[in-house]
Structure 1
Amino acid sequence: MTSSSQLGSEDLVRRAVAAFNSGDHAQAMDLCELGLKRHPGDSALCHLLAAVLFAKADLPAARERIEASLAARPDNVPALILAGRIARAEGRLEAALQFLDHAATQSSRVEILLERARIFDQSDDAAAAGAVWTQVLQSDPKSVEAMARLGRLAWERGAPAEAEGFLDRAVAGAGHPAQWFDLGLVRQDMRKFEAAAEAYRHVLEMSPDAAEAAVNLGVVLQETGNLDGAMAAYSQAYRLDPSTFGVIAMALTSAPSGRLWLDEEALRRILASGAPAPGAEPLAVDARR
């Protein structure tokens, strides 16, 4: 068996990559550091060590290593993309864009567009983010992240039908709880209350501690006149996060139909217990007023 002391730089890189990909970051780091003792400044080893340090959230050390890698190979596209990611994580957004702009002169990889879009998201530049996410989706029509972000951006600019189209596509392959939640918000705004309830239920199936989704589920069920279902959802939300009480109490008296509790503590007890609401006074609210 070949010992570590007999391995050359390329062999160490291969072993370190295998360790990193298997989730053994400690072994990957040890192999990179061993290689750099023998081959100081080796661009591949510096790059890989930067990736390990980035995965461990040691951003200053990751930046130092990726800069060393780029000093040896300034046009290396994967290293430039990683440098952009590290800079974005540090909040150095202009520097991140510069790395990616340099990478774009060498390659048309979709990862470059992805990182640019994420940077514009982080800088709250909705127009620029939307333009680049559109480019991402044109380059990769199956990009769920692009569909989800374009849906969210469309909703934020007041285009719910467009938003629903993107988000429907994003969740088609099961979806992430955040994507289902955004779809619920869009459908709720469109007064598609039953469809919104379905979306919020998906959130709670995947993320049972999502108190905000439980509150919103209660709201849309209440809008459909399903008060028992709404109370069950509100109870779930309150047990997950008691700070939701104010929103729940307001929702109970602001929908077209609701219930009124004159005793706040009684309502808290009902929500905490998850039991039906005996003795609650039905309250009819005319939503047209």
Structure 2
Amino acid sequence: MTSTGPVGSEDLVRRAVAAFNSGDHAQATDLCELGLKRHPGDPALCHLLAAVLFARSDLPAARARIEASLASRPDNVPALILAGRIARAEGRFDAALQMLDRAARQSSRVEILLEQARTFDQASDATAAGAAWDRVLQSDPKSVEALARLGRLAWERGAPAEAEGFLVRAVAGGGHPAQWFDLGLVRQDMRKFEAAAEAYRQVLAKSPDAAEAAANLGVVLQEMGDLDRAMAAYSQAYRLSPSTFGIIAMALTSAPSGRLWLDEEALRRLLEQFEENA
């Protein structure tokens, strides 16, 4: 229960931060609102309440509070970064970049570069995103997020060897399933089928419900001439998501080592049979 005794804004901020960090967003909100009743327009309380509202996905209210905070402290870097995040979440990319540019004039924090790169990504500006992620990597050569994004962007622009280099570095510490999946796609395009199969197996080890990875594993195993294991992978994909059937049927009938299936139901039964015998 929130105390109503006399208390300064700094103490309220401290208690609200503790509540927020513990996951009690309701109490954090109550404490911030109590503080703002006693200290109207307090920039720290406005900033913190904006962060709480942002975490609760109340974007218009979060924007109003961070704008109130910036009205008192227009050059506060953490507030500018939060304002940029809120604007990006609302799809106001130009506004987000303006806030982040203001923050960058005050500080060289890598966090600002990250937010700029994420904003260009979300705005689907691949050229600007690539340059922004390069700046992140220059500041933090071990940034897994930058390595993964640069790898994906390189693959999308048709530079698979460059993409593979970035993605291999991204997964070196274990890797996220999405990063391994991208590495599988790149190696599959390069016809490095054994390496692609290993990447897709890593996806499935980390995310056993990844139907697309199972289907792609089947494709590369089929390309390697291992039809039995390919069928097992296809069966796994079909079990996880029946919508993969079209991809499976196309792969089986188009690859040199595939089979011709005139009866769709017969293929479905075979996939189910592999599932039962797995």
Sort the TM-score into its range (normalised by shorter chain): over 0.9
Deviates more, 1:150-159 or 1:202-211: 202-211
Q: How does 1:96-135 map to 2 (within 5 A)?
A: 96-135=96-135
Query: Is the CA contact 2:236–2:275 (under 8 Å) kept in the aligned structure 1?
Result: no
Distance 1:232 1:7 in 2: 66
Give the aligned partner of residue 157 of structure 2.
Answer: 157
Distance 1:235 1:137 in 2: 40
Question: Offset of 1:102 from its aligned partner?
Answer: 0.8
Classify 1:123/1:275 alpha carbon distance in 2 versus 1 (closer, same or farther; 3 Å).
closer
Give the aligned partner of residue 62 of structure 1.
Answer: 62
Tell me how large the CA RMSD over aligned residues is: 1.6
1:47 maps to a residue whose letter is H
Deviations 1:79-117 (A, max 9, x none): 000000000010000100110111111111111111111
Deviates more, 1:27-36 or 1:254-263: 254-263
Give the aligned partner of residue 27 of structure 1.
Answer: 27
Query: Is the CA contact 1:270–1:276 (under 8 Å) kept in the aligned structure 2?
Result: no
Distance 2:78 2:256 in 1: 56
Question: Offset of 1:66 from its aligned partner?
Answer: 0.6
Question: Offset of 1:5 from its aligned partner?
Answer: 2.2
Query: Is the CA contact 1:35–1:45 (under 8 Å) kept in the aligned structure 2?
Result: yes
Q: How does 1:205-244 map to 2 (within 5 A)?
A: 205-244=205-244
1:49 maps to a residue whose letter is L
Classify 1:142/1:4 alpha carbon distance in 2 versus 1 (closer, same or farther; 3 Å).
farther
When normalised by structure 1's length, the TM-score is 0.92
Query: Is the CA contact 1:151–1:162 (under 8 Å) kept in the aligned structure 2?
Result: yes
Between the two proteins, the alignment pairs up a number of residues equal to 276
Distance 1:275 1:132 in 2: 46
Question: What is the identity percentage for the equivalent residue pairs of Structure 1 and Structure 2?
Answer: 85
Question: Offset of 1:22 from its aligned partner?
Answer: 2.1
Gaps of 5+ in 1: 278-289
Give the aligned partner of residue 84 of structure 2.
Answer: 84
Deviations 1:167-205 (A, max 9, x none): 011111111111111000001011111111111111112
Deviations 1:117-172 (A, max 9, x none): 11111122111111110000000111110000000011111111111111011111
Query: Is the CA contact 1:214–1:237 (under 8 Å) kept in the aligned structure 2?
Result: yes
Distance 2:110 2:4 in 1: 36
Gaps of 5+ in 2: none
Structure 1 residue runs of 4+, over 2 Å off?
Answer: 2-7, 259-262, 272-277
Deviates more, 1:11-20 or 1:141-150: 11-20
